[in-house]
Amino acid sequence: MEYDFQFAKVFTELPYLLGGAWLTIQIAFIAFWGGAFLGIFGAIGKVYGGAIARGAIGAYVVFFTNTPALVQIFFLFYALPEAGIVLNPLTAVLIGMVLNSAAYLTDILRAGIISVRKAEIEAALTIGMRPLQVLSYVMLPHVAKTLFAPLSNFFVWLMLGSSIAALFAVEELTGRAINISTSNLRTIETFVVTASIYILLTIIASLFLSFIGRTVFRVKAKVM
């Protein structure tokens, strides 16, 4: 039987879908910067920490990079209530994605920290910079420039991976697409449009990140 495509029923829901796309970007943004904040300290601990710190951070990274983010969020959302800790769906997703991205970013940022020349750090300390100033003015700018491309690609990956939030009834882009397809029964049309929005988001994010790389960090790296 020939299928009758009816995209008009989906196009009327575009504002609703675009609202979900905005939430998708917000989730990715929080997951990335939350993970980066934890990841930079994890990376420093792995490079400069003692045996206990390196072991603890290593165990954290191994656990979170070798188990699915979905399983981790399931634990936060369904297991923690047994211990009296109840999280709403969006909070559980954000915490899970931050912890997961922090593990990956720990290893990514560690590579950048290792690439900072020891002489630069010693020179900064010699002129009286405190460790936090060395981190802010010497290490982080170098890491950002060196790792801009992989970090940008990781952000795009997080943006696409945020679709797992739909399984917890979070109305980001995929969640709203599921709601629409359930309501209008036009599953193919709904997800063709949704996929197109994801592609558009990826292109826009990649172009924006490439522009930031060229103008701020003088990096001519291709994102995507």
Q: At a CB cut-off of 8 Å and minimum separation 6, what does 117 contact?
A: none
Nearest 5°: the CA angle 187, 189, 190 is 65
The CB density around residue 8, as the number of other CB atoms within 10 Å, is: 9
Q: What is the pLDDT of residues 31-47, one digit of tens each?
A: 999 999 999 999 999 98
pLDDT above 90 (res 207): no
Record the pTM. Answer: 0.88
**How far is residue 45 from each of residues 49, 59, 61, 96, 103, measured CA to CA in Å?**
4, 13, 12, 21, 13
pLDDT in tens, 129-143: 887 887 777 777 777
Return left, alpha or beta for 185; rule: phi > 0 is left, psi -120 to 50 is alpha, else beta. left
What's the pLDDT score for residue 54? 93
Which residues lie below 8 Å from residue 114, measured CB to CB, with a gap of 6+? 47
**How far apart are alpha carbons 163 and 155 in whole angstroms?**
14
How does pLDDT run across 107-126, given as a tens digit for each residue? 999 988 887 777 777 787 78
Q: Average the pLDDT over each of 17-21, 69-73, 111-115, 155-159 and give the range with the smallest value.
A: 111-115
The three-point CA angle 106-107-108 to 5° equals 95
Q: Output the average pLDDT for the chain.
A: 89
Q: What is the pLDDT of residue 88?
A: 95
pLDDT above 70 coverage of the chain, percent? 96
- d(C-alpha 120, C-alpha 82), whole Å: 50
- What's the rounded mean pLDDT across residues 152-170? 94
User: Which stretch of 97-111, 112-126, 156-170, 176-190 has the lowest confidence by average pLDDT?
Assistant: 112-126
Q: Give 179's contacts (C-beta < 8 A, 6+ positions apart).
A: 171
Note the pLDDT of residue 28.
96
If you search the block for the tokens 């980001």, which residue do you land on?
Answer: 172
Token pair in block for residue 93 = 């997703």
pLDDT at 96 over 60: yes
Asked if 191 and 15 count as a contact pair (C-beta separation under 8 A), the reply is no
Domains along the chain? 8-216 (1.10.3720.10)
Percent of the chain with pLDDT over 90: 62
* Length, in residues, of the chain: 224
Q: Does residue 152 carry a pLDDT above 60?
A: yes
Q: Which amino acid is at 178?
A: I
Residue type for position 113: I
Identify which of 76, 63, 65, 66 has the alpha carbon closest to the alpha carbon of residue 168: 76
pLDDT at 224: 56
